[in-house]
Amino acid sequence: QVQVVESGGGSVQAGGSLKLSCVVSGNIVKGCTVDWYRQREGKGRDLVSSISPGGTIWYTDSVEGRFSISQENDKRTVYLQMNSLETEDTAVYYCAARVVTPANPDCRNYWGQGTQVTVSS
């Protein structure tokens, strides 16, 4: 079983900052990536940023230069530092750990419960 727990959401004014945390635990054979998604009200879930255990990083264009993803040395805690927040960043942010477990030999997503980020003008 894999557990994914996000924290750090909240309300902030435009231009402000928030830092989200994602803690991954459980019986993991290998980590593939840890991804941050967001879901705006009435919209689908979009990939925002991703980091691999080796440190390969990806950002969607709309957050490039404003958001920064990082991880602890144990690769089980991943952060998303969000600066210069805009009202369009308002969404529920989800962490997804793509991992291999003893029961599943392929990389599979395990999702957190989500954390609300609200940016006001």
Could you report the per-residue pLDDT of 79-120, keeping only the tens digit for each? 999 999 999 999 999 999 999 999 999 999 999 999 999 999
Q: What percent of the chain has pLDDT over 90?
A: 97
Pairing status of strand 104-111 against strand 91-101: antiparallel
Smallest CA-to-CA distance from 94 within 48, 28, 26 is with: 48
**Statement: residue 73 has pLDDT above 90:** no
Map residue 61 onto helix, strand or coil: helix
**Statement: residue 74 has pLDDT above 90:** no
**pLDDT band (50, 70, 90) for residue 57:** very high
**Statement: residue 69 has pLDDT above 90:** yes
Q: What percent of the chain has pLDDT over 70?
A: 100
Please, which contacts does 50-59 make with residues 24 or more away whose CB atoms are closer than 8 Å?
Answer: 51/78
Rounded to whole angstroms, how far apart are CA atoms 35 and 37? Answer: 6
Whether the Cβ atoms of residue 29 and residue 92 lie closer than 8 Å to each other:
no
**Statement: residue 25 has pLDDT above 90:** yes
**Statement: residue 75 has pLDDT above 90:** no
